[in-house]
Structures are given as structure tokens and as C-alpha cells.
Amino acid sequence: MPALIEVIGTKNILGEGPLWNAADGKFWWTDIQASRLHRMDPRTRRIETTATQERLGCFAFIAGEEGRILAAFESGVGVFDCATGTVDWLARPEIGTGRRFNDGRVDAQGRFWIATMVEDARRAAPESASLYRFDARGLSVQQGGVRIGNGLCVSPDGGTLYFADSPRQAMYAFDLDQAAGTLSRRRLFATVTHGYPDGAAVDCEGCVWSARWGGGQLVRHAPDGAVREILPLPVMHPTCVAFGGADLRLMLITSAQHGSNEGDPAAGSVLIFRSDVAGLPGHRFARAGLTLGEAG
């Protein structure tokens, strides 16, 4: 069972999408509703913050680059310069649609998988969000009929993509053709009965750690979907988890004040645990064949 090291009172409105950057030795995450990107050195607990032009749902590090990230903002995908705060927009399919980009993960071949969510039911049909793939061919829809896309992560062998639709309380698995970048054989991976499946990460044993929004826990699923472990948390709305540190055994869990009440005093904190099982090294977006120009 992971051991709690510290609760850091970051007061994020909607902390999300944590990633470990081995290049700078820092955890990165976004506060979506505050339009902020955070970076923290786990040794010093020092946090750096950069404002973003739009709400930032998720992001990916770019192979061969530091200082710029591939970012899925509320309206679309662009390259964000962390020093200047400027964006080189690549695709913006969700301007004024009532949907926004939410969760994402890079696969073993360097493709960025991104899910959107229905945010405004007055402008968007309730199941009109999508699961997108972004690579050198551009942005393309791979799965429709989504309410709130979440929980994207990839198996250690790169052949399975995990995905959750939060309001359905369902986690799914797809076969991922690594050469073609196509999905097939969608099946139910796990049904959630306590809270809603939010962000997730896979460990070195192939188990999926899923944050349970409204459930106050992190749940570890075996590769067949069975529950192996339940980690109670001191927040009601955990949102995602990342493995980091030199041995990939530090766990950083983001959380949200959004939707919480006075009975959740640690809401919006980031939690640091020490795990007895290591995570996986993160993949970076492969820019080969795609021109990522100067931000502007």
C-alpha cells in the first residue's frame, strides 16, 4: 500500500493531468479552471506557475524539446511556449461548441490521444464529445458518443489503450495497433460503483491506477480489470495520478476544490505518496513529419 508523504495545499480549483518530466526532475500539472500550468521539484516542494491563454486540459512533452509542450487547451491543440506564454495553434475544433478538451496521453509511438467532454448542455448534445488522435497526420476523431472522456493511459507493451467515460461510471480498453495508430475491440474494462473514474496511470506491472472523482480514493485495477487495491485519500475529488522521481516510485495525485464542500479541507491539494511498485517512464510526442513552428 502506498504511504502518504505529504499533503501540499496548492488550492487548485481543478488540478489535473500530472506528468513527470525526467529532463528537469519536476512534476507538471494543470489547474484547468484557473488557466495555470504548475511545475514542482519534489525535493524542494518549490512550485513554479505559468498562466495560459485558455484553460489547459492536458499536455504532452515533445521529443527533443524543453520549454515548449504540446497542449490541449479548451478549444484545441497548440504548441505552448512556457517562457513566453504564447501558443502556436495547430487545430481548434471546439471553439464555441459547448465542449472542451479534457484528458490526454501519449502512446509508445509518440501519438497524443486526447478526449473531449461536454461542458455546456445548452450548446452540445449530451453524448457529442470524442476521443481524438493527434500525430503527423493531424487531429482526427477515433471514437464518438462520449460524455466526459477521461482516464487515458497505455499498457506497458503499448498494445492496449485505456479510456473512461466518467458519467457512465465505465472504464474501457481498446486494442491499439501500434503501427497504424488505430483502435479496435472496444470492451468494458471495469464498472465503477463508488465515485466516477477520472484520470489514470499504469504501473510497471501493467495495473491501472484510477482516481475516483467524488469517491475519495485511488483504485488499482489488474490488467483484467479486477480491483487489486483501494487507496483512501484525504480529498473527496482526486483527479489524476502520476509516477515520478528517480525510481518512479513517487506518486503525485492532483485534486479539485471544484465541487467540494467545507467537509473537504484538503480539496485542491496535491498529494505525494511513496509507492511500493514503480510507474512507467513517460512517452513524449513524436514530432517527426509535423512542423511545430515558432509560437505566436
d(CA 19, CA 38): 11
In a 3-state reduction of DSSP, which class is residue 168? helix
Q: Among all residues, which ones are annotated catalytic? A: 198
Strand partners, 271: 7, 253
In a 3-state reduction of DSSP, which class is residue 167? helix
Instruction: Answer for the pair 290, 41: CB distance below 8 angstroms, yes or no.
Output: no
Cα 188 to Cα 99, 160, 164, 170, distances in angstroms: 24, 13, 10, 7
d(CA 53, CA 94): 15
**How is 107-134 classified by DSSP, letter by letter?**
-TTSPEEEEEEE--TTTS-TT-EEEEEE
- The alpha carbon torsion through 224, 225, 226, 228 (nearest 10 deg) reads 100
Residue 191 one-letter amino acid: T
DSSP code of residue 62: B
Residues 6+ apart with CB under 8 A from 291: none
Cα 94 to Cα 59, 115, 130, distances in angstroms: 16, 12, 11
Candidates 213, 207, 225; CA nearest to 276 is 207
